[in-house]
């Protein structure tokens, strides 16, 4: 386990050394979303009976911050190593592709959880956000962050330069995140868009995570967790296959 722990330590230090950019900045962005959307829609929208819209927003914004930062951590690490040329030192070390996968994904999960916890704690300082079931919150937080961490490894392996990685994030990750029900419940959508939302795996992460706070969800949390777990296993299999073959990193 020495190789895995060493790479994990390196990945944790990589984002922690620039914590102002990797942790505090995403927290500020999520809180600005909360401030703007709650101010604009608080009196016009009620997602769930008896739950204020600003309180409804908090779990979605926490999860959104976790997913985006988990993806950013693993993807940016790989693309930076490829562009700067220091990835060769990792490839020359006696690390298996499984250890590489676990280290990148574990570091992505840690960053996602750190940002998510920060957003929640700051938001909870301004308003009361009850927790209905912490095990469901933790399950979806871990599974969602791990899924996006694995997806970030795929993006980092595929991209040859930073603008390709930015395109992946802007045209895949951001649309799936914003159309996942962060700012609304899908029951408020027309039937066609409700069906389309059920094809988005990000929806199940947000919906299941929100269930842990309110005990209310659009889909059964067990169903949501099963779908997210299936997506994670599929993406992990593809990621491990790419690492084993040395896709775009071994010649």
CB proximity list for 222: less than 8 A, separation 6 or greater: none
Question: Has residue 250 been placed in a domain?
Answer: no
Q: Does some domain include residue 202?
A: yes
Mean pLDDT, to the nearest integer, of 180-194?
81
Asked whether the beta carbons of 123 and 32 are under 8 A apart, the reply is no
Residue 144 inside a domain? The answer is: yes
> Looking at the domain assignment, is residue 219 inside a domain?
yes
Name the residue range of residue 77's domain.
2-42+50-245
Question: What is the pLDDT, as a whole number, of residue 44?
Answer: 59
Taken in order 26, 31, 37, 40, the sign of the CA dihedral is negative
- Per cent of the chain over pLDDT 90 is 56
Alpha carbon distances (Å) from 121 to 1, 63, 126, 154: 34, 13, 9, 31
Q: Answer yes or no: is 167 within a domain.
A: yes
The answer to the question of residue 23 being in a domain is yes
Q: Is residue 63 part of a domain?
A: yes
In this predicted structure, what is the pLDDT of residue 42? 64
Query: Is residue 54 predicted with pLDDT exceeding 80?
Result: yes
Confidence of residue 40 (pLDDT cuts 50, 70, 90): low
* pLDDT (average), residues 109-135: 89
**Predicted confidence (pLDDT) at residue 12 exceeds the cutoff of 80:** yes
User: Is 251 a member of any domain?
Assistant: no
- Return the number of other C-beta atoms located less than 10 Å from residue 45's C-beta: 17
Give the span between the Cα atoms of 157 and 33, in whole angstroms. 31
| Predicted confidence (pLDDT) per residue in 60-118, tens digit | 999 999 999 999 999 999 999 998 888 888 888 889 999 999 999 999 999 999 999 99
Burial-class residue 241 by CB neighbours within 10 Å (0-12, 13-18, 19+): exposed
Q: Report the predicted TM-score, pTM, of the whole model to 2 decimal places.
A: 0.92
E strands present in the chain = none
Domain total in the chain: 1
Evaluate if residue 46 carries a pLDDT over 70: no
């Amino acid at each position: 386990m020495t190789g895995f722990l060493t790479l994990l330590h390196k990945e944790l230090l990589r984002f922690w050394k620039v914590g102002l950019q990797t942790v505090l900045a995403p927290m500020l962005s999520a809180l600005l979303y909360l401030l703007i959307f709650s101010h604009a829609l608080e009196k016009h929208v009620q997602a769930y009976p008896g739950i204020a819209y600003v309180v409804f927003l908090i779990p979605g914004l926490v999860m959104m911050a976790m997913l985006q930062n988990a993806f950013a951590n693993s993807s940016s690490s790989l693309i930076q190593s490829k562009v700067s040329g220091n990835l060769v030192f990792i490839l020359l070390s006696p690390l298996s592709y499984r250890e590489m996968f676990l280290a990148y994904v574990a570091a992505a999960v840690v960053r996602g959880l750190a940002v998510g916890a920060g957003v929640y704690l700051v938001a909870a300082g301004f308003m009361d956000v009850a927790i209905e079931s912490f095990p469901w919150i933790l399950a979806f937080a871990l599974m969602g962050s791990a899924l996006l961490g694995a997806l970030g490894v795929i993006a980092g392996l595929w991209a040859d330069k930073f603008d390709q990685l930015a395109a992946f994030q802007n045209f895949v990750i951001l649309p799936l995140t914003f159309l996942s029900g962060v700012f609304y419940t899908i029951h408020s959508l027309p039937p066609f868009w409700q069906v389309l939302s059920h094809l988005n795996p990000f929806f199940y992460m947000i919906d299941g995570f929100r269930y842990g706070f309110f005990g209310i969800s659009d889909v059964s949390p067990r169903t949501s967790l099963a779908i997210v777990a299936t997506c994670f296993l599929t993406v992990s299999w593809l990621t491990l296959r790419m690492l084993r073959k040395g896709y775009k990193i071994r010649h």
